[in-house]
Amino acid sequence: MDPAEKRRQEILYGPVVRTLMKLAVPTVVSNLLSTAYNLLDTFWLGGLGSSALSAPMMSWPIISLIFSFVFGLSGAAIALISQNRGAGKDEDARKSLAHIIIVVILIGAPLAIVVYIMLGWIPRLLKLTPEFAESFMNYAPIALVGQTIMGLAMIGGMAFRVWGYPEVALYVRVPFVLLNAVLDPFLIYGWGPFPRLEVKGAAIATLIAEVLEASTLIALIFLHPRIRLRPKHFKVDISLIRRIIYIGSPLGFSRMITTSGFFVLLIVISRVGEYMITAWSLVNRVMDIFTWMTFAFNMASATMIGQAIGNNDFIRAKEIARKTALIVVGIRFLGSLAVAIFARPILEIFHRNPEDPLRDLVISTSVTGMWTFGMSAAFFALSIVSLAPFRASGKTQYDMLISMVRLWGLRVPLSYVLGILLGYGSLGVWVGMALSNLIAGLLAYALMEKDLWIHRVIE
């Protein structure tokens, strides 16, 4: 049997848990490498102080706000490619991939210019002190370029995962994550012949790795024998572009709603104090160990569900969704508990500049965050994996609904009311964010159980 057909048959008919693990583990490893790099990046920046530690987290919501719609459109790849693969229509899957690349390039480039223009007024909006503002402006413009390039890398990686070959994306990821980690201390602290660039050095190291990784992945979707993208697949099909926009727009708006919520949340957090920005950065960095595991299982689940839907096997699709939820929530709860128990010594490793006057306050605030917001992460994971069937089926409007509820209906108002209006400060913000995860997770699972996702987008 042809290897590609053998992989397809395994996804369609193999034991659910074993196949899920086989698809998820390479992405888990890839994401763990990225998380390990982010933690190492945090470690090196932690030697500079609170403002340096906060720069990546302050930059992320602003840059992602504009690109979120583009990345959401690319989510149409999950439904179109996986269902076509499940139906044995590989040429249609290739054509869908090519047109998603076209859409992302046409929309992404102009948006990058818009974001660049926006960056200058962000420090004033957040009312940052000169030290925090300088760190932000040294990091954000370079991160913007990297985010633009990583849009293409994301499409390449997604293509291999949805096709059923997640190990390829892993093999490409490893050397560039390692390169990023090696470059970091040299460019941040000026080791050897390199100048001391501090926060800017961290951004440049990441940019170099991102350019190389994106170039490799895009080249491979043309060269890999299983995908074999060709120029003919890029012959513009307006009806297919309309379908991509129709399927991807709700997910794109969902991404925009999510990142805009994080942007407003950043403003709320900044009103508590700059120490809270740093604490939020630290807690998110440590929690990312399990967050990216969640997204890896979500992608594997969506791939299997999409191909099952393409094969008209909705019973198997439901079995995959339920088992994924059970596995991911269990792992996430135990992981969050372990991190909370050892929170203080873990955090002291990353924020290690004894001369920083904010250090003790940041660490104590972060420990509280681990026991409140951190312990709600299992419900966040539940909300993510419960939406996998909706993404796989093309019913992406439910993803938008849950995102609106979690961020705008719950997280932002609860954090503002508890943290600012009622005066509970950082504790109020942590509790508000925890409640948003709890309610959104239960709602997403309830929607999944109602079978509202039973749907095909292919003929």
Each residue's pLDDT tens digit in the chain (459 positions)?
A: 666 677 778 888 888 889 888 888 887 887 787 787 778 888 888 888 888 888 888 888 777 766 677 777 766 666 778 778 877 788 888 888 888 888 888 877 788 888 888 888 888 888 888 898 999 999 999 988 888 887 778 888 888 877 878 788 888 888 888 898 889 999 999 998 889 999 999 999 989 998 999 899 889 989 888 888 898 999 988 988 888 888 777 777 777 777 778 888 889 999 998 899 999 989 988 888 788 788 888 888 888 888 888 888 888 889 999 999 999 999 999 999 999 999 999 998 888 878 888 889 999 999 999 999 999 999 999 999 998 888 777 777 787 788 888 888 999 999 999 999 999 999 999 999 999 999 999 999 999 998 778 776 665
- Which residues have C-beta within 8 Å of that of residue 257, sequence separation ≥ 6? 400, 403, 404, 407, 408
pLDDT of residue 424: 93
pLDDT of residue 414: 96
The number of helix segments (H) and strand segments (E) in the chain equals 19, 0
115 near 38, Cβ under 8 Å? no
pLDDT of residue 186: 94
Chain Cα centroid distance, residue 222: 25
* Cα distances (Å, whole numbers) of residue 341 to 47, 100, 120: 24, 44, 40
54 near 123, Cβ under 8 Å? no
* Main-chain phi, psi angles of 221, to 5 degrees: -70, -15
**How far, in Å, CA of 201 to CA of 207, rounded?**
10
405 near 254, Cβ under 8 Å? no
**How far, in Å, CA of 243 to CA of 456, rounded?**
13
Which pair of tokens denotes residue 383?
A: 């909300």
In terms of Cα–Cα distance, which of 410, 54, 434, 128 is closest to 261? 410
pTM here?
Answer: 0.76
Other beta carbons within 10 angstroms of residue 49's beta carbon come to 23
pLDDT of residue 10: 81
In terms of Cα–Cα distance, which of 57, 204, 41 is closest to 132? 57
Q: Give CA torsion, residues 437, 443, 446, 447, to 10 deg.
A: -120
181-213: b or e for each residue (b if 16 or more CB lie within 10 Å)?
A: bebbbbbbbeeeeeeebbbbbbbbbbbebbbbb
In terms of Cα–Cα distance, which of 182, 180, 176 is closest to 203? 180
* Cα distances (Å, whole numbers) of residue 127 to 268, 274, 344, 426: 11, 9, 29, 17
Angle between helices 238-272 and 274-310 (to 10 degrees): 150
Counting beta carbons within 10 angstroms of the beta carbon of residue 459, is it exposed (0 to 12), middle (13 to 18) or buried (19 or more)? exposed
Residue pointed to by tokens 């926060």: 199
Chain Cα centroid distance, residue 120: 25
pLDDT of residue 456: 67
**How far, in Å, CA of 166 to CA of 24, rounded?**
8
Task: Please write down the long-range contacts of 280-284, taking CB distance under 8 Å and 24 or more positions apart.
Answer: 280/57, 280/369, 281/42, 281/53, 281/54, 281/56, 281/57, 281/58, 282/42, 282/53, 282/347, 282/350, 282/351, 282/362, 282/366, 283/366, 283/369, 283/370, 283/373, 283/374, 284/57
Query: Which DSSP category does 412 fall into?
Result: H
Cα atoms in the Cβ-side hemisphere of radius 13 Å centred on 144:
23
**How far, in Å, CA of 235 to CA of 387, rounded?**
32
**How far, in Å, CA of 387 to CA of 299, rounded?**
11
